[in-house]
Amino acid sequence: MDTVVLFILFFLVGFAMSGSFTFQYSGAEAYPFLGAYFLIFFLYFAVLEGYVGQTLGKKLLKIKVVKENGEACGFGPAFVRTILRIIDALPFLYIIGMILIARSDKKQRLGDSIAKTVVVKA
């Protein structure tokens, strides 16, 4: 679900910046578009998980992010989780994240472990 939302936002950002849904950016002209898209990607996860505890995808799956002690996640830990998605997603399809989750007693990926958060049933 989160991928679908971000895919829609990708096209909305492209449309807003180019005036067309058939936009194509290359070279240096792609940087503002990519910057805007990554900002939206980052804010989508950090703000929703930080303040609501759930993205739309997590809400659909009836799971949420909380601190290890059960308190609400908050923006700081959500910020850390979101930044570390870059490493968890490597080399592709969240392979590192899946390995770390499988090896963790608390089923945490790197971002959760460092941010001291867990994903639980809502």
Residue 63 to residue 15: CA distance in whole angstroms: 32
Read off the pLDDT of residues 58-69 as tens digits, 9 standing for 90 and up: 999 999 999 999
What SS3 state is found at 116? coil
The model carries a pTM of 0.88
Residue 75 to residue 115: CA distance in whole angstroms: 11
What SS3 state is found at 120? strand
Q: How long is the chain?
A: 122
Mean pLDDT for the stretch of residues 47-59: 97
Long-range contacts at 13-18 (CB < 8 A, ≥ 24 apart) = 13/37, 13/40
Q: What does DSSP assign to residue 51? A: I
Read off the pLDDT of residues 8-43 as tens digits, 9 standing for 90 and up: 998 898 899 888 888 888 888 889 989 999 999 999
